[in-house]
């Protein structure tokens, strides 16, 4: 990042404990806004330029509603929190009318087939995407202490929107998870003997609040990388979690190998978890809590993919 302005903006968000992905997304849209305005400094722009940019995203780029909303959130942050020149609450711009896509959902048979054929060393974190409805990054960022075997649940800290929640843990995954923790402990013992090893990464200034936690076993990642690496920010030697792209590639290639015609991603497993819960009669509020949705309307989209239709409508064609 060459721009001193963008570096200062990123540091401002880090100080406010924004997630790394949120910082990256906000920087992307703020950079796009600057480029759209012929690299004019944002302090010389305001409501009119923001309205024009948002309309451009809808009219020319034809972005999804959530994408336009994300761009707006980035600019609201820029002007309110960083430049101290809040935008008006009554921005006038063309809102995108692109309809969100319905989620791709696997049947129970397809799900079982996919999970069975995943590479063995990546199968467990993928199992959790379906078994507990986790997001991809929630799975790879799990710490050893997040698994609650007594109450058959998993604790998710700082999920999307910074929210915490507790989700279900399938009984069938207890044994594999305990074996995984044993494997993690071997890495831990090895690292503790390595004089170059610093400690595991802790977010949100927790390292300062709990100075000894970063070297405690329970704080280490449940799915650690096979190699140590240098943290680009602190220059410390750490063992990070497995990279999410490994899971994405495994799911994508396994799907192709099986011959699925559906476009299957890691998030498809989360979609399938929600839909299958509803098919089994789970209350939509329960599903909402499991998924960590703030708005129940987000959860209701899964009712549209149920076999009998959202309102259990029977087609008249079936009576011919």
CATH of the domain at 55: 1.10.150.130
Lowest mean pLDDT among 148-162, 273-287, 295-309: 295-309
Give the pLDDT mean for 36-51: 96
In a domain, 189, yes or no: yes
* Residues 59 and 143 reside in one and the same domain: no
- What's the pLDDT score for residue 312? 57
* Residues 75 and 119 reside in one and the same domain: no
* Residues 23 and 139 reside in one and the same domain: no
> Which of the pair, 301 or 215, is modelled with greater confidence?
215
Q: Which of 143, 238, 241, 293 is catalytic?
A: 293
In a domain, 224, yes or no: yes
Q: Which of 77, 79, 221, 302 is catalytic?
A: 302
Q: Which of 46, 158, 160, 166 is catalytic?
A: 160
> Which of the pair, 46 or 209, is modelled with greater confidence?
46
Domain end position, chosen among 19, 50, 82: 82
* Residues 197 and 105 reside in one and the same domain: yes
* Residues 41 and 78 reside in one and the same domain: yes
Whether 161 and 294 have beta carbons less than 8 Å apart is answered as yes
- Owning domain of residue 59: 4-82
Domain end position, chosen among 51, 82, 113: 82
Give the C-alpha separation, 255 to 259, whole Å.
Answer: 6
* Residues 213 and 107 reside in one and the same domain: yes
In a domain, 176, yes or no: yes
SS3 track for the chain: CCCHHHHHHHHHHHHCCCCHHHHHHHHHHHHHHHHHCCCCCHHHCCHHHHHHHHHHHHHCCCCCHHHHHHHHHHHHHHHHHHCCCCCCCCCCCCCCCCCCCCCCCCCHHHHHHHHHCCCHHHHHHHHHHHHCCCCHHHHHCCEHHHEECCCCEEEECCCHHHCCEEEECCHHHHHHHHHHHHHHHHHHHHHHCCCCECCCCCCCCHHHHCCCHHHCHHHCECCECCCCEECCCCCCEECCECCHHHHHHHHHHHHHHHCCCCCCCHHHHHHHHHHHHHHCCCCHHHHHHHHCCCCHHHHHHHHHHCCCCCCCCCCHHHHC
**Whether the predicted pLDDT of 182 surpasses 90:** yes
Cα atoms found within 13 Å of the Cα of residue 46, Cβ hemisphere only: 11
* Residues 133 and 278 reside in one and the same domain: yes
Q: Closest Cα to residue 274, out of 297, 295, 309, 303?
A: 303
* Residues 128 and 260 reside in one and the same domain: yes
Domain end position, chosen among 82, 109, 141: 82
Whether 127 and 154 have beta carbons less than 8 Å apart is answered as no
Q: Which of 143, 220, 241, 270 is catalytic?
A: 270
In a domain, 41, yes or no: yes
- Whether 267 is a known active-site residue: answer yes
* Residues 106 and 180 reside in one and the same domain: yes
CA 65 vs. chain centroid, Å, equals 18
Residues linked to residue 147 through DSSP beta bridges, in sequence order: 154
Identify the band that residue 311 occupies on the pLDDT scale cut at 50, 70 and 90: low
CATH of the domain at 182: 1.10.443.10
Give the C-alpha separation, 161 to 298, whole Å.
Answer: 14
- The pLDDT tens digits of the residues spanning 112-156 come to 999 999 999 999 999 999 999 999 999 999 999 999 999 999 999
Identify the band that residue 234 occupies on the pLDDT scale cut at 50, 70 and 90: confident
In a domain, 264, yes or no: yes
Q: Which of 135, 220, 271, 276 is catalytic?
A: 135
Q: Closest Cα to residue 128, out of 180, 200, 164?
A: 180
Number of domains within the chain: 2
* Residues 282 and 189 reside in one and the same domain: yes
The residue assigned the tokens 């069975």 is 116
* Residues 130 and 176 reside in one and the same domain: yes
In a domain, 319, yes or no: no
The residue assigned the tokens 């401002």 is 12
Q: What is the mean pLDDT of the chain?
A: 91
Identify the band that residue 310 occupies on the pLDDT scale cut at 50, 70 and 90: very low
In a domain, 297, yes or no: yes
**Whether the predicted pLDDT of 215 surpasses 80:** yes
* Residues 39 and 182 reside in one and the same domain: no
- Whether 121 is a known active-site residue: answer no
Give the pLDDT mean for 224-249: 93
- Whether 141 is a known active-site residue: answer no
- Whether 48 is a known active-site residue: answer no
Lowest mean pLDDT among 94-98, 164-168, 187-191: 94-98
In a domain, 241, yes or no: yes
Longest dimension (CA), the chain: 76
Give the pLDDT mean for 37-65: 95
Give the C-alpha separation, 228 to 231, whole Å.
Answer: 10
Q: Which of 165, 249, 252, 267 is catalytic?
A: 267
Cα atoms found within 13 Å of the Cα of residue 58, Cβ hemisphere only: 20
């Amino acid at each position: 990042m060459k721009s001193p302005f963008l570096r200062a903006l990123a540091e401002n968000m880090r100080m406010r404990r924004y997630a790394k992905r949120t910082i990256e997304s906000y920087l992307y849209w703020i950079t796009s806004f600057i480029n759209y305005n012929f690299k004019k400094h944002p302090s010389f722009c305001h409501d009119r330029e923001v309205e024009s940019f948002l309309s451009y995203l809808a009219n020319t780029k034809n972005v999804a509603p959530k994408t336009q909303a994300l761009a707006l959130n980035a600019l609201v942050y820029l002007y309110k929190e960083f430049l101290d020149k809040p935008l008006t609450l009554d921005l006038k711009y063309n809102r995108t009318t692109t309809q969100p896509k319905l989620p791709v959902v696997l049947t129970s048979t397809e799900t079982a087939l996919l999970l069975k054929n995943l590479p063995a060393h990546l199968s467990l974190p993928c199992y959790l995407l379906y078994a507990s409805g986790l997001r991809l990054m929630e799975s790879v960022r799990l710490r050893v202490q997040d698994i609650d075997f007594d109450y058959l649940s998993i604790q998710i800290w700082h999920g999307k929107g910074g929210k915490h929640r507790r989700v279900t843990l399938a009984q069938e995954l207890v044994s594999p998870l305990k074996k995984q923790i044993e494997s993690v402990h071997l890495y831990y013992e090895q690292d503790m003997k390595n004089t170059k090893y610093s400690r595991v990464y802790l977010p949100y200034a927790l390292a300062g609040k709990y100075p000894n936690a970063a070297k405690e076993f329970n704080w280490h990642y449940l799915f650690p990388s096979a190699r140590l690496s240098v943290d680009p920010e602190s220059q410390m030697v750490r063992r990070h979690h497995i990279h999410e792209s490994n899971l994405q590639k495994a799911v994508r290639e396994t799907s192709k190998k099986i011959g699925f015609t559906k476009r299957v991603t890691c998030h498809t497993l989360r979609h399938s978890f929600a839909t299958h819960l509803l098919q089994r009669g789970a209350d939509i509020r329960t599903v909402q809590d499991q998924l960590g949705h703030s708005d129940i309307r987000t959860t209701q989209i899964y009712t549209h993919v149920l076999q009998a239709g959202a309102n259990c409508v029977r087609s008249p064609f079936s009576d011919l």
